[in-house]
Structure 1
Amino acid sequence: MVRFRYIKIFGITLLLGLLIFLIISFFLQKQLVAIYNSQESIILKDRLNREIVILPNQKGYWAQYLNEIPPQFKELLVKKEDKLFYYHFGFNPWGLFQAGLERLGMGQRKASSTISQQLVKILLGKEFERNFKNKVIESFYTLALEIYQSKENILKMYANSVYLGNQAQGMVEASQLYFGVAPDLLTNGQILQLLAAISSPTENNPTKEKNKEIAKSLAQKLQLDNQNLTITDPGVIEGNMKKNSHLSNLSFELRDFVNNNARDYQLTIDKELTEKIREIVKRNIEELKIKNAKNGAVIVVKLPENELLTLIGSPDPESFEEGYKINMLNEPRPIGSTVKPFIYLKAFEKGLRPYTLVDDREYKYITAIGFPLYPKNFDYKYRGEVNLHYALSNSLNVPAVKVLEYVGLDDFYKFLEKDLGFKPIQSLENYQLGIALGTLEMNLTDLAKYFTIFPNNGVLKELKIYSSKILPAGKKIANSEYVQLVNKILNDRKTGIEQFGMKSELNLFQENYALKTGTSRDFKDSWVVGFTPDFLVGVW
């Protein structure tokens, strides 16, 4: 009876231990699968479902996953890396035996890792940290993987995870990068060239001469016909890499809109339009360098949905020109006279009208720090009595200061911060009436968003970049009749002749558009925001 009781206790303990091991194993393999899924590159697509860019994963590699491995690649991979893959439980007994002899100095064995073990090392990021502790931990993970994942799934995960050099992770990326073909179109020679890179992807990838030698050696070892084997020359592969690399300017502005909760994004961006506009920006900056223009940014918004079509934060993000690595869409700069439509809008709400007269003459103000301020117009001239339509059309500074004074600084601060949701980089009280003179700093993205209230009849909406995301309807922050008064003035290109002249690059052949320009002090910043009923364009 006592003996039977001990046997029973032992059996229960064994079952309990097995149950605990299975539970732990489940979470271990679940962790591995989560790591595996997180390492797939994020693909950004434009509004027409065209690939914009593939972003590197957290390792800095490009990785697109394949759902099914081509039969020939699978066969050669198993033959080379793990002949007994389908017959062992994560560990090759013969390999372990040989590795043990090697540790005792009784044999030579370079490696004994199975495909499952290699996959675990890759996913845990311990390929180069080889010590006893790591090997024990990896053994538990390997068993967990074998218990809960099928052999086919393990093989697929390995083929998608193995690094093959030049930032290419997995066979999909390597096939496209080195040979410009899909995995199922690889020749035997190309497959061997990829397999030759596994052991040392930096030194033996297909761009190296040594890769050809290893591939031919593998052909003999795997009993393939050397006579009909075509090995691609490294020079050809270098050319393929230039054509097939994922390095792209298009990712520069879009990284801020990506998180790791999805692998495939369809954006409202128009890829072709963005590429064309970047070329225009780059060309114009080059032509204007003699006038000390050094950088530029552009945003294009589709109305009334407020969908972002183009984001250009740098003429050439790959260039090492000063400032080109900075996304100027997000950098606050003094916005100059582009603030004036908002000032006049609030004035119209308070009872002023386009025909209201204001005296354009010298005024003296005392600033908060006690210094006198004498507002000047862009040409340092005064015009006497002018109406508000004329003042805004010609972007006169002195009338804008008087209008802001009429609106009231506190009320305008409230409009900026509460209604528009603007977050200034310093207290608005530091600007005071200087706001009307263009000292307020704002980035181009925010400025374009706030300007959409004019073509959208006073409704402020969030800018939309995810095609599938439904945004709130927006909030009404201004009555449409006052918005239309501002639009009428911004649309009038004839009254603004004094500032812009009879002939101007801003005078277009159609008449269904409105715009406002702005320059900061000493012309360090130049702005244009223009819109039609269908589109809004902001340029810095």
Structure 2
Amino acid sequence: MKLLKTALVIVAGIGVSVYSYARLSKIDDVKMSSLKITDRNGVLLKEMHSCKYGTTYPVNLNAVPRHFIDTLLCAEDKRFYRHPGIDPLAITRSLILDIRRMEIVSGGSTITQQLARNTGNRPRTLPNKLREAAQAVCFEIRYSKDKILQEYLNRVPFGNGAYGVEAASRLYFGKSINNVTLSESAFLCAIPASNKLYNPYKRLPFTLKRQKRILTSLYIDGLINREQYLAALNEKLTLYPKKNAFLAPHFCDLVADRYKGYDGELKTTLDLNIQRKIEYIIANHMAKLAMANVNNASVAVIDNKSRDILALAGSADFFDELNQGQVNGVTALRQPGSSLKPFVYGLAFGNGMNAADTLSDIKSSFEIPGGGLFMPKNYDKEYHGMVRARTALACSYNVATVNISEKFGSDILLAKLREAGFKSLNRDAGFYGPGLSLGSGEVTLLELARAYCGLANGGMLKGLRMILTEPQTDMGRFFNRRVAYLITDILSDNSARAPAFGEFSPLSFPFKCAAKTGTSKNFRDNWTAGYTPRYTVAVWVGNFDGKPMYSVSGISGAGPIFRDIMLALEIRNPDRDFEKPEGLARQEVCAVSGEVPTKYCSETINELFIKGNIPLKHCTIHQSVKIDKRNNLLASVDCPREYLEEKVYKVYPSEYYEWATSAGVEMPPCEVSRLSGTGEAEGMANECYVELPRDGDVYKIDPILRRYYQEIPLKPKVNEDVKHLKWRIDGKEIISDKYPFIVYWELERGKHKIDFSAYTGNNILESNKIEITVVP
């Protein structure tokens, strides 16, 4: 009697709630579709739930076998076609048990109530059970029993991401619901009571035990005969292997994150054939790199024309929990090292520098904002003296690169990098300092791939596409086409990088491929990024926990992976070349000075120039000097011809003296031979004039370059017996006491008069006076 009163009270409460829930959402308002992510050819990569639902395939009620419906009703709600949406006595028993235990421990819900719970997505609390009951009554008022049953069949969770009977049948038996047997029906109907307890992939004995109870109940209730009962009990079930339709997992996660709440099918830009190739290549190389404490790698492959992401691997193995395989390395912030150098040189080429211009790669120090000095070193721990820009970029010389960036300043370089799409560099220039040009900031692999793809497209930056229907997004031009091609020409010049990487490095290809490596401090990250006319590939190798590798650089870590991927991509297209824009020309220059060669230049190269920026000045590094063979000193004017020898020396500016000495560069003698008497060198008596600059020269101040980097050389023509020299610029004196007495003067606006006095020890020689003009 007491139980009946409790039931009446509960029913009354539900009745009140029904009135309040009269305007609840209709069943049809609830979305049920899955999100299906496919590759560009329609191959399924991943199927995932949209909103609260997992994999689901809606079916009509008449497509479900009668024996399955009988089995489901027997297992879940025997009085379904007789109750008004709730079963008062069953609810009362369930509530009393729940109250005694102070938690939800008993079911008692009808199919209509379960449908209300599935559509409402509420926590399992006692008040919510009343709300679900009220909504169940509303459903019964609004819909037919068949409509409610059909909606339930399409929404009921079967565990492992399957929602609805069709999805469950495909998942566990690999067949459609209309083909399941009686035994399979009982097996499936055993699961919804508790997805966790009756999970076939983890607790199969429990699932089979409940299946037998359901079959027994069907037999006792007369829904099946003895023959059917025994046949179902003895039927050997074959559980379909659990499979993860989860190809290209990191890529799918990126797509799903961008298209949250999207229902239906998304055809992506990914090419599964290419994806499988890069995953195989990564796995093959990781086995070799494991001994060097390398646990992960990330790769992005881009189609240069469409900007489509064709393949993407965020880690070596998504399911490797030990090595944090689910971290997506393509979006992780890491230091890119030297892989940013092409953008440093591009900045310089766009502001008047050419590939033949020489850079200083000698021991140098640079001020750090806030105090201190930055002293960059090269990867090989050596300095290379005077190097051409082509060689400095191709060989990745650090000191030369910092010298370029310092001429412009970190603020201008940072602005250019942001133009190239490196939005992750979001601190002020002072934070990065002079190390910015060497990759001291943090960027993502996708940013690097997008920027290199921009180089491949003539300096035009566009957004990368993940969905075939996405429009291309124009992000602006960061280099003009001529500058971008010049960078491409250098990065694809195997002979230019041979001094640092060897002739047969991983970056040597049988086709045109522009590539650059990068290694961060202490070998924590290494990179290789590059492109052919068709594809851009970016590779990162390292450890997600930040542990250093064992002396693995970009050329030995990421480089071999990059090479194998490029070979796999371009095996059918080896003869394509980069499109060359107009406005470029080649000219022979001295291989040392980068200037117009003279008869003394023993080695020349055919360099590529932007028209209007071709050098006109003749080489001053290679100089011919007459030597007295008897003592290897400068020959005097009366040195007998049989002892006279003319030798060509490399005469570097004074700032290279220390490097030249340590590098063993042979320099001309400063002392004149006294063996023949006078001590004056033949053909050089009384020579004393300003060789550079020339009278009437006009110079222009570059508004972008820092002023203290805009210097010109003052070069005298004097006898070798001069001891020291005193320059005068508008009367202001500058003393030089080292042969060849070249000094550098910072440009100042206006007209300037220049001359000098040369001191031989016994005499003072006065030069001519020249005048130059400096305009703003």
Q: Greater CA radius of gyration, 1 or 2?
A: 2
Distance 2:145 2:133 in 1: 17
Q: Report SS of the residue matched to 2:456.
A: coil
Q: For residues 413-432 of structure 1, what are the structure 2 equivalents within 5 Å?
A: 413-418=414-419, 420=421, 422-424=423-425, 426-432=427-433
1:425 Cα offset (Å): 5.4
1:461 Cα offset (Å): 0.6
**Structure 1, unaligned runs of 5 or more:** 1-19
Mapped pair 1:517 → 2:513: no
> Of 58, 63, 78, which residue of structure 2 is paired with 1:66?
58
Distance 1:322 1:111 in 2: 42
Q: For residues 42-121 of structure 1, what are the structure 2 equivalents within 5 Å?
A: 42-55=35-48, 62-69=54-61, 70-72=63-65, 73-74=68-69, 76-78=71-73, 81-82=76-77, 85=80, 89-91=84-86, 95-96=87-88, 113-121=109-117
Q: For residues 181-200 of structure 1, what are the structure 2 equivalents within 5 Å?
A: 181-200=175-194
1:177 Cα offset (Å): 2.4
Partner of 1:229: 232
1:315 Cα offset (Å): 0.9
Give deviations 1:410-446, integer Å, cap 9, x for gaps.
2212222356352325433222221223322211111
Give deviations 1:203-246, integer Å, cap 9, x for gaps.
34552230342243144132252354376657x42xx233x344
Mapped pair 1:124 → 2:120: yes
> Of 22, 25, 28, which residue of structure 1 is paired with 2:22?
25
Distance 1:245 1:385 in 2: 58
Relative to structure 1, the CA distance from residue 230 to residue 529 in structure 2 (aligned partners, 3 Å threshold; closer, same or farther) is farther
Q: Which amino acid aligns with 1:180?
A: G
Q: Report SS of the residue matched to 1:299.
A: strand
Normalising to structure 2: TM-score of the pair?
0.60
Partner of 1:465: 466
Relative to structure 1, the CA distance from residue 419 to residue 75 in structure 2 (aligned partners, 3 Å threshold; closer, same or farther) is same
Relative to structure 1, the CA distance from residue 489 to residue 298 in structure 2 (aligned partners, 3 Å threshold; closer, same or farther) is same
Give yes or no for contact 1:462–1:474 (8 Å, CA) kept in 2. yes
Mapped pair 1:537 → 2:537: yes
Q: Report SS of the residue matched to 1:529.
A: strand
1:78 Cα offset (Å): 4.3
Q: Which amino acid aligns with 1:326?
A: V
Relative to structure 1, the CA distance from residue 189 to residue 381 in structure 2 (aligned partners, 3 Å threshold; closer, same or farther) is same
Give yes or no for contact 1:121–1:127 (8 Å, CA) kept in 2. no
Distance 1:46 1:184 in 2: 29
Give yes or no for contact 1:444–1:538 (8 Å, CA) kept in 2. yes
Mapped pair 1:168 → 2:153: no
Partner of 2:255: 257
Give deviations 1:378-435, integer Å, cap 9, x for gaps.
2122222221111111111122112212333222122223563523254332222212
More deviation, 145-154/384-393: 145-154
Distance 1:128 1:276 in 2: 47
Q: Which amino acid aligns with 1:124?
A: G
Give yes or no for contact 2:216–2:229 (8 Å, CA) kept in 1. no
Relative to structure 1, the CA distance from residue 197 to residue 295 in structure 2 (aligned partners, 3 Å threshold; closer, same or farther) is closer
More deviation, 161-170/302-311: 161-170
Give yes or no for contact 2:94–2:108 (8 Å, CA) kept in 1. no
Distance 1:438 1:33 in 2: 55
Give yes or no for contact 2:424–2:442 (8 Å, CA) kept in 1. no
Distance 1:302 1:382 in 2: 38
Relative to structure 1, the CA distance from residue 282 to residue 140 in structure 2 (aligned partners, 3 Å threshold; closer, same or farther) is same
Relative to structure 1, the CA distance from residue 104 to residue 341 in structure 2 (aligned partners, 3 Å threshold; closer, same or farther) is closer
Distance 1:491 1:296 in 2: 24
Q: For residues 213-224 of structure 1, what are the structure 2 equivalents within 5 Å?
A: 213-220=212-219, 221=221, 222-224=223-225
1:165 Cα offset (Å): 3.7
Give yes or no for contact 2:395–2:496 (8 Å, CA) kept in 1. yes
Per residue, is there more helix in 1 or in 2? 1
Distance 2:48 2:342 in 1: 40
Relative to structure 1, the CA distance from residue 148 to residue 470 in structure 2 (aligned partners, 3 Å threshold; closer, same or farther) is farther
Q: Which amino acid aligns with 1:270?
A: D
More deviation, 373-382/219-228: 219-228
Q: Report SS of the residue matched to 2:301.
A: strand
Give yes or no for contact 1:297–1:312 (8 Å, CA) kept in 2. yes
Q: Which amino acid aligns with 2:453?
A: T
Give yes or no for contact 2:300–2:445 (8 Å, CA) kept in 1. yes
Mapped pair 1:345 → 2:343: no
Distance 2:224 2:123 in 1: 30
Partner of 1:10: none
1:136 Cα offset (Å): 3.4
1:176 Cα offset (Å): 2.2
1:58 Cα offset (Å): 6.4
Relative to structure 1, the CA distance from residue 369 to residue 127 in structure 2 (aligned partners, 3 Å threshold; closer, same or farther) is closer
1:119 Cα offset (Å): 0.9
Distance 1:117 1:174 in 2: 21
Give deviations 1:476-495, integer Å, cap 9, x for gaps.
23211111111111111121
More deviation, 386-395/190-199: 190-199
1:121 Cα offset (Å): 2.4
Per residue, is there more strand in 1 or in 2? 2
Give deviations 1:23-50, integer Å, cap 9, x for gaps.
9634x124x655x426x54321111111
Relative to structure 1, the CA distance from residue 506 to residue 153 in structure 2 (aligned partners, 3 Å threshold; closer, same or farther) is farther
Distance 1:103 1:467 in 2: 53
1:274 Cα offset (Å): 2.1
**Structure 2, unaligned runs of 5 or more:** 1-16, 98-105, 541-776
Q: Report SS of the residue matched to 2:300.
A: strand
Give yes or no for contact 1:177–1:245 (8 Å, CA) kept in 2. no
Relative to structure 1, the CA distance from residue 79 to residue 21 in structure 2 (aligned partners, 3 Å threshold; closer, same or farther) is closer
Q: Report SS of the residue matched to 1:341.
A: helix
Distance 1:290 1:536 in 2: 29
Distance 2:456 2:95 in 1: 77
Number of equivalences? 502
Q: Report SS of the residue matched to 2:529.
A: strand
**Percent of residue pairs bearing the same amino acid type:** 27
Partner of 2:739: none
Q: Which amino acid aligns with 1:119?
A: L
